[in-house]
Amino acid sequence: MEPLHHESRNTELLATVAHELRNPLAAIQCAVRVLEAPNQSDATLQQARAVISRQVTRIVRISDDLLSAGYIATGELELCKQRVDLHDVVQSAVEACRPQLDAGHHTLMLHLPAAPVEVIVDPIRITQVLTNLLDNAAKYSDPFGSIIVRVEGTRCAVTISVVDRGIGIAPEFLPRVFDLFARSDQSKIRPRAGMGIGLNLVKRLVELHHGTVEACSAGLGMGSTFTVWLPRST
Ligand code: ADP
């Protein structure tokens, strides 16, 4: 990358990160004021605590993604692979996204095989992959959307699909959806527009596991499906 282009990318990244942190911090600031104010009802106090908890989780997620992206860029990310049941990984990702799913009143359907689905992966990283995909499915769906997580296994590999019926992806944007900082015009105006690093991180983490990730959408307004394919062991 040319130095000037590189510099403007860095400036753009800093501005985006600052913007991403500003919204949750502003929400926390408001909630703290509510907690400090006298004579608040129990329901109001509980609501303020829930806001703080949800927004702190969001900040932790942003910093985890930035850290991971940095480690991958410098080749320092080491996978801690172990034999795990994908049921547990999916469960951790769902728990992590529960506040976003509930805030948007989304319905989540899990289609998993009844038997354990064993894979040898780094569970923390694959949870991070699924958390990003689920978080996007919630973020890019209108309230009361329905989201499906489907896990299927063959003898040698597994696929995990996250399906939403949200804003969809325009055909011209689809080939760039995994690029660093790529954000569609439609997503920039969403209430929780992001940094455009999540999907790039997803792709890199999946590739570190010798897997692939694909995005499909029939177009704007037609929902999206992201499918991760992972070998059972690498
Ligand atoms: P962001 O932080 O902007 O969500 P991502 O890297 O996760 O960054 O996603 C990049 C872009 O891909 C988003 O800005 C959005 O335009 C598009 N995108 C990702 N997931 C979806 C989805 N489920 N539905 C529609 N568009 C999506």
Say if strands 107-111 and 146-153 run parallel, antiparallel, or are unpaired.
Answer: parallel
Residue 125 CA to ligand 1 center (angstroms) comes to 19
Report the alpha-carbon distance of residue 64 to residue 83 in Å, rounded.
23
Q: Which of 169, 150, 158 is nearest to 216 (CA)?
A: 169
Which pair of tokens denotes residue 53?
């908890």
Residue 124 is predicted with a pLDDT of 93
Which segments within the chain are labelled E, that is strand? 82-85, 107-111, 118-121, 146-153, 157-164, 212-216, 224-231
As a whole number of angstroms, the distance between CA 214 and CA 161 comes to 9
What atom in ligand 1 is closest to the CA of residue 164?
23
Q: Output the CA 32–ligand 1 centroid distance in Å.
A: 31
Predicted confidence at residue 193, as pLDDT, reads 64
> 223: Cβ below 6 Å to ligand 1?
no
Closest CA to 181 of 4, 3, 2, 6: 6
Q: Is the CB of 164 under 6 A from ligand 1?
A: yes
What is the separation of C-alpha 175 from the centre of its chain, rounded to a whole number of angstroms? 19
pLDDT at 196: 84
- Model's pTM, two decimal places? 0.86
Tokens of 82: 């172990």
Separation of CA 136 and ligand 1 centre (Å): 6
Let me know: does 189 contact 138? Beta carbons within 8 Å.
Answer: no
Q: What is the mean pLDDT of each run of 10 residues along the chain (234 residues)?
A: 67 80 91 94 94 90 88 88 96 92 94 96 96 95 96 96 96 93 74 80 95 97 97 84
**Among 187, 189, 201, 222, which residue has the most ligand 1 atoms within 8 Å of its CB, making it the best to mutate?**
187
Q: Is the CB of 100 under 6 A from ligand 1?
A: no
What is the structure's pLDDT at 79? 92
Q: CA-to-CA distance for 86 and 109, rounded, in angstroms?
A: 16
Residue 126: predicted pLDDT: 97
Q: Residues 217, 175: contact at Cβ < 8 Å?
A: no
Report the alpha-carbon distance of residue 12 to residue 2 in Å, rounded. 15
Q: What is the residue whose two structure tokens read 């296994």?
A: 153
Q: Which residue shows structure tokens 């289609």?
A: 111
Task: State the distance from the centre of ligand 1 to the C-alpha of 163, rounded, in angstroms.
Answer: 13
